[in-house]
Structure 1
Amino acid sequence: MSKKITNSFTEEVGRGGFGKVYKGKLPNGCLVAVKLLDASKRNGEGFVNEVSSISRTSHVNIVILLGFCLEGNRKALIYEFVPNGSLANFIYNDRMTPNNTSPPLSWEKLQQIALGIVRGLEYLHQGCNARILHLDIKPQNILLDENFSPKIADLGLAKLCQGRDSITSMMLARGTLGYIAPEGWYRSFGISNKSDVYSYGMMILEMAEGRKNLNTEASHSSLLYFPQRI
């Protein structure tokens, strides 16, 4: 089914740690984004996490899951198509590359995007029956629609807290290096919605300066980690 929707996976529009994303079209003409999970990785938990968490949501700043395909070892998630891609295409000073000619965004637009992301996070943390911790907030996981309104995407690492529990334990750190909150590295501390707030803050720093907060190619150690440099 996912192969038919995407015309044999011909148009790749993105990729992440769990697999590639392809542009597709439903029989009714509706454009969709199909995330094909990498079969070579252990994506069973990520697939279940994403379906179980995002299916509980309904918010203008959360990407809409339309369905999923499960064919043998092949797993695919079908989302609404968000035409302007990820926020990462617009905020870095080195974005003008042969594969990315997206124009920069104004400060006013960046502020609107930042506020939209906050509303989405507040909904995940306070507006659902179960508190949802995203645990991988970063520019690559923020999609922008035709009006550059943000939509939080990729809940493959999400953690559902039953009831209104504010703190939960983790066996291993979840997230992306440079965005993981300090408590995410220590099992004895536990994590909460504040971990997402930390990741959001790191992303805001990137939006403000136009560079990645973790620069492994920096010539001086003080330039490696954005908060330390600030």
Structure 2
Amino acid sequence: MVTALLDPRKPKSIADYLTLTILTFYVALFLVLPSGFRKWTFLGIYTFSRLSYNGGLGYILYQQSFHQRLTKWAAKSKIFNRPDPNASVLRRVTYDLIKRELSAKMGSDYAFEAVPLEYNTWLLFRRAVDLILMSDFTSYMLFAIACASIPENQTMVLHVGRWTAGIFLFLFNLWVKLDAHRVVKDYAWYWGDFFFLEDLELCFDGIFELVPHPMYSVGYAGYYVSIVSRKRQLLDY
């Protein structure tokens, strides 16, 4: 996801450009805000993004899993059906926009009108997931930078040690996510089984040999540690 979004050589969809615009806005906001407001502004943005991930996506996936809300909505609205010649301009434009959006990053074997409705619904859902995940990650990183400081009366050895440990945990966090995605691939990464079933045989090697659910345990090691280290700074602010 990150590579496809930031690599200029990769094809971009409208959702990608929207996500990049929002992330650029976050960075610009960080640069123009007075230092005293940055911390609380990005704490608010991050809190909203985290609630959107845990609460928003969780609720949507619950509804899809038990009631097929998204696929039923797609079937009822017929957003993936080719409009007839007498359809309104808005209907034709919406269809062309969605078709272009979902086809932009797919291979030559993808046929928008031939694949099952559940598959296209899942592809559309993935666009929302990418936006929320990138907003969550970027706002948290900017929040962490806004909170960064050099504590008084701290020895250089301890200061270097803290930064070294922090960089290590960040890189470890990155490796866990990338290796987990290598194993489960997009189907499991984006909760594809909530939309359709696919006959797959996964080989749980790499990070999965160390822990059973790495993305939500050791994959957040740097995140957990940073929360503990920043808690006192927020309370003392």
Give the TM-score normalised by structure 2.
0.28
Structure with bigger strand share is 1
Of Structure 1 and Structure 2, the greater helix share is in 2
Greater Rg by CA:
2
Give the number of the structure with larger relative contact order, counting CA–CA contacts within 8 Å between residues 6 or more apart.
Answer: 2
Provide the TM-score with structure 1 as the length reference. 0.29
